[in-house]
Copies of this chain bind each other. A is one copy, B any other.
């Protein structure tokens, strides 16, 4: 797919996001973390969680009071291997960063560590946090609950979030094993993509209250907002193709995100009061870190995981398929493609960036403006 959008240099977008976050009241050190999390998503080609979310998911929420720009991370309980943190509705990314730094230090000493955050907000890609562990030579596991959009098997009501269950693990290759995706078959961002491309959403991924599958991408997005349809778990509708397994994975994340801290869950995470007004998100996240040095060592782990991934890629392809990927490989390829070019930004982001610059009184000039003097 040929990229037609203009690119912005990584450093420029990074600096710009930090300055805007600061103008919105986020302390500089925190703004640096948040900008890096959003850009890491773009670096990996996961555009659903990158700078496209800068305004709607973070800045707009700071403005409407559902996200506090200054994050008070309160440690409610701490042991040599565990941490429970109250994020007090501040930046989920700032809380998660502090949590992972603590857990990595604990896992260096004890081999295993686990933490949970409650009263939090959107923490970006789960894979950012598990990659912090991987960069320290450890296995990272994380997940988060979210606004209810997924129906249980045999159900039609949106009850749970798209709840990622994310693992990043060291390898001896240029990139780690990084499995970072929703436990539902599909998530909103992909349906938005189908709509933009004027394509139907494949059958069996979305269910109406009447129990039918929906494929009209525009209609799905409209009805989703009203709660009139729900995403199906990985494996699809019913039990025959394993839908109960995806439902199980989503439930595991729902439980771990809430129950270790005793936080809210399911319908309570809608972000809306009954009268339609905004309410605090109060999300929960969990994090586990496992240090291979406490087993047979990091070198052994790296070599074995690398051997497994190479064996998978080298196995027999289906006719017509040229390549078998392993989790994290496409993200690495996206980075290779983009690292010298920058972030591709479409019309919406361009307009948002210009408006934010003007709103915050900043003096950035974006390359894409040069074509429109």
Residues of A within 8 A of B (CB): 76-77, 79-82, 84, 110-114, 116, 139, 151-157, 159-160, 167, 169, 177, 179, 181-186, 202, 204-205, 207, 209-211, 234-236, 240-242, 244-249, 251-252, 254-256, 258-263, 265-267, 288, 290, 292, 294-297, 300-305, 307-309, 311-312, 315-321, 323-327
Contacts and interface: CB of A to CB of B under 8 A. Distances in A.
Given A114-B111, A241-B202, A318-B211, A304 B152 contact: no
Contact of A157 (B177, B266, B316): B316
Given A157-B316, A159-B312, 4 more contacts: A81-B81, A153-B325, A244-B325, A265-B307
Contacts of A81: 81, 110-112, 294
Copies in the complex: 2
Given A110-B81, A240-B202, A315-B157, A248 B327 contact: yes
Contacts of A76: 296
Contact of A82 (B80, B167, B247, B294): B294
A177 B181 CA distance: 23
Contact of A311 (B179, B245, B266, B323): B266
B259 A301 contact: yes
Contacts of A248: 179, 181, 327
Given A265-B307, A307-B265, A324 B154 contact: yes
Contacts of A110: 80-81, 110, 112
Given A80-B110, A235-B234, A260-B296, A209 B316 contact: yes
Contacts of A247: 327
Contacts of A183: 245
Contact of A241 (B167, B205, B304): B205
A103 to B, nearest CB: 10
A255 B169 contact: yes
A256 to B, nearest CB: 8
Contacts of A316: 155-157, 209
B323 A255 contact: no
A185 B234 CA distance: 10
Contacts of A265: 304, 307-308, 311
A10 B270 CA distance: 47
Nearest to A181: B245
Contact of A234 (B154, B169, B245, B327): B245
A252 B183 CA distance: 14
Contact of A312 (B84, B116, B234, B266): B266
Given A241-B205, A308-B266, A252 B179 contact: yes
A302 B260 CA distance: 9
A270 to B, nearest CB: 13
A77 B234 CA distance: 38
A248 B127 CA distance: 14
Nearest to A186: B242
Contacts of A326: 152, 251
A260 B302 CA distance: 9
Given A110-B80, A167-B252, A177-B251, A317 B156 contact: yes
A84 B262 contact: no
Which 9 residue pairs are nearest across A and B when measured between Cβ atoms? A211-B318, A259-B304, A112-B112, A262-B300, A157-B316, A179-B248, A260-B295, A154-B321, A185-B242
B113 A317 contact: no
A84 B296 CA distance: 7
